């Protein structure tokens, strides 16, 4: 691969680790992506692929891509659904798989109408209940969402579940699956067109096409 360096925005943490085997197939050493202990650089150069990787907070990845400060990005469908970005989504990477669910206390199966819902995803939650003709009262919280039903803040939560352990340990149960979530490759629409064949190489690298 030659020509201009392509910029890829990725989330730090679990998703970055999950990308290691994907890029290893293209000959990238894990240390080139992950760095060594104590490595605080936020840019990782992968010259063998003509790629520059930006390390970001997960919620910020689509912002970099939408403004064109990154050509491509890796982000969860949860963030895309919640904020409604206009990004090209050429590949579902199949990593970071989890479910967006409605959960309540195990002893509270029936929700009042209207229900109060605690969530980090107010748009997804409101749309889910609106589709069923229910105008839920949605309370935005940043984390520890599971405390909502336990403390009386809310009747239910809309949140991500991966192993189910957090729900189980807080005596909550899944009542509905709102949607399946995974990480997708996203691209800035203008950059994708301008990059032409180079963009297709990146998509192939990530298992699309």
Residues that bind ligand PRP in the complex, under the rule CB under 6 A: 143-145, 159-166
State how far the Cα of 179 lies from the Cα of 4, in Å rounded to an integer.
37
Taking the complex as a whole, the smallest distance from the CB of residue 42 to ligand PRP amounts, in Å, to: 21
Please identify, using beta-carbon distances, which residue of 84 and 143 lies nearer to ligand PRP.
143
Nearer to ligand PRP (CB atom), residue 46 or residue 167: 167
What's the min distance (Å) between Cβ of 13 and ligand PRP?
9
- Of 38 and 143, the one with the shorter C-beta distance to ligand PRP is 143
Shortest Cβ distance from residue 157 to ligand PRP (Å)? 9
Q: Which is nearer to ligand PRP, 50 or 164 (CB)?
A: 164
User: Smallest distance from the beta carbon of 62 to ligand PRP, in angstroms?
Assistant: 17
């Amino acid at each position: 691969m030659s020509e201009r360096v392509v910029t890829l925005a990725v989330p730090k943490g679990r998703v970055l680790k999950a990308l290691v085997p994907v890029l290893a197939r293209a000959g990238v050493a894990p240390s080139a992506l992950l760095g060594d202990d104590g490595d605080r650089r936020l840019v990782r150069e992968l010259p063998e692929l003509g790629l520059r990787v930006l390390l970001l907070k997960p919620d910020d990845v689509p912002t970099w891509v939408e403004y064109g400060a990154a050509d491509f990005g890796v982000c969860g469908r949860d963030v895309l659904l919640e904020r409604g970005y206009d990004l090209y989504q050429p590949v579902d990477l199949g990593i970071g798989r989890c479910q967006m669910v409605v959960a309540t206390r195990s002893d509270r199966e029936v929700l009042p109408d209207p229900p109060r819902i605690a969530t980090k995803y107010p748009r997804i939650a409101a749309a889910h209940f609106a589709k069923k003709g229910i105008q839920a009262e949605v309370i935005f919280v940043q984390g520890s969402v599971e405390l909502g039903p336990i403390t009386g803040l809310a009747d239910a939560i809309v949140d991500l579940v991966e192993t189910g352990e957090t729900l189980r340990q807080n005596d909550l149960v899944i009542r509905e699956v709102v949607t399946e979530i995974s990480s997708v490759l996203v691209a800035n629409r203008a950059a994708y067109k301008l990059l032409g064949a180079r963009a297709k190489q990146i998509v192939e690298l990530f298992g699309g096409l």
